[in-house]
Each structure stands twice: as structure tokens, then as C-alpha cells.
Amino acid sequence: MDKVSFGYEEVPPEEKTRRVRGVFSNVASRYDLMNDLMSGGMHRLWKNQFVRRVKPRRGEAILDMAGGTGDIAFRMVGSGAQITVADINREMLDVGIERARRQGIEGLVWAEENAEALTFVDQTFDAYTIAFGIRNVTDIPAALREAHRVLRIGGRFFCLEFSTSTWPGFRELYDSYSHNIVPRVGRAVAGDEDSYRYLIESIRRFPDMPTFAGMIEKAGFARVSVEPILGGAVAIHSGWKI
């Protein structure tokens, strides 16, 4: 791989991985608060909708990739599924472990893992979830191939990610919000304008819904479908390993 995008910059792949790690190390302690502030609490609804689609079941093994501070895993653990929260960033996982302790959530497995090169053996999981994680991964096709590899036959893949809304006028509104408000809130609350600028720019650079669906198919998944939220400003992509 030659150069890859880090926000609007083109950087060598290893530099992107290093910088993304820096972004999440910087924001880890304020991550949950910032999600609420930036989305007006809406990320909670999107995550609920996502987990309803996943339908975790007792006895299943589920990998929540780029699981960060545990938001998706916390919503699935009550089902009785065995959840592994995996993330490349130790600080994000540590915040999650502490949150789980405070909320009395038990039974989660926390693992430091790079989505591009998982240490799990083939066909370990019944479902793979990744929420607001894939656009931060340097080599997205590699991560999708790894998702496919660690799923059992009949396993389900689910991705919740920002995308591009097809609603007329939405883009202008969103551009203005994200360019003017988000970095300022990032600076005021987290003291870190640059990290939030990166997060916005990475959203804009992410492939649109049909392109990303094509990438999931290319990794080997079948029956790939997309559920747009807010016209596709956020989207749930899913597929099956058959």
C-alpha cells in the first residue's frame, strides 16, 4: 500500500496507524461525553438500532471489533452471548473496563487486537460487529478479510459507520455543523481540536454506501445489505459468511 488518507492528508500506512492511535489515546477519557455532545445523544439510538439488528443470542460468541469503551458490548452482554471487546488502543479498553466495573457489567473479554491482523483462529465467532471503527482502520480490505476469516460458516457481519446522506440539503447542513461546531466543541471540552478535526475528515473520506457494500462482498460476504439512517448519514452494513 502506498499512501493512505489521514483526514485530508496523505500519509504512509504505518504513519496513519500511529496517528489514529494517538487520536484515540488523546480522546479516551472524554470519548463517551464527547459522543453525547457531538451527536446530541443520537449515537445511543443508532447503537440500539444496530444491536437490535445483530440480535445476539445466548451461547453465541461475538467479536465486537474496535469496541473502544464498550458501548456495543454493554448492549449485547445481557443476551447471554459471550462477547469479546477488541481494540487496538489500550487506553480506550482501559476506560471501558473501568466503566464496566462501575456499572457492574461482568463477563466481557477485553483484548488488544489490530482489526487488520487478528490473533484468533479461523471460524471462532458467530457474529462480528464494528461500530464507528472501520473508517479508522488503515487497511480496510484486510480488516474485512479478517472478519470473514474469524467468522464461522453462517456467521454474521455488522458494521455501523458514518456514511453519506442522500437527503437533499443534508450534506450542506452537516458540512457546516461538522466544520464549524465539532472542532470547537473538541477544543472546549477535550482540549483537542485536531483529533476532532481528524474524526470529521475521516467521515468525509469514507466510501459511500454502495462502494462500501462492494468492499464487503469482495471480502467474501454474501447477501450484503445496507440500512441507511438519516438518509445514510449513518449506515448499518451487514453480510453473511456462507
In angstroms, give the least distance from the CB of 242 to ligand SAM.
Answer: 25
In angstroms, give the least distance from the CB of 24 to ligand SAM.
Answer: 4
Q: Which residues of 20-53 are buried (b: 16+ CB within 10 A; e: fewer)?
A: bbebbebbbbbbbebbebbeeeebeebbeebbee
| Nearest CB to ligand SAM, comparing residues 13 and 228 | 13
Q: Which residues bind ligand SAM (CB under 6 A)?
A: 20, 24, 66-68, 71-72, 87-89, 92, 114-116, 131-133, 136-137
Q: Which residues of 183-199 are buried (b: 16+ CB within 10 A; e: fewer)?
A: beebeeebebeebbbbb
Q: Closest Cα partner for 43 from 28, 31, 25, 56?
A: 31
In angstroms, give the least distance from the CB of 97 to ligand SAM.
Answer: 13
In angstroms, give the least distance from the CB of 32 to ligand SAM.
Answer: 8
Q: What is the side-by-side strand order in the sheet with 125-131?
A: 109-112, 82-87, 61-65, 125-131, 151-162, 234-240, 222-229
| Nearest CB to ligand SAM, comparing residues 162 and 221 | 162
Residue closest to ligand SAM, measured at CB: 68
| Nearest CB to ligand SAM, comparing residues 42 and 166 | 42
| Nearest CB to ligand SAM, comparing residues 20 and 216 | 20
In angstroms, give the least distance from the CB of 47 to ligand SAM.
Answer: 6
| Nearest CB to ligand SAM, comparing residues 133 and 232 | 133
Query: Under a CB-based contact definition with an 8 Å cutoff, are residues 213 and 227 in contact?
Result: no
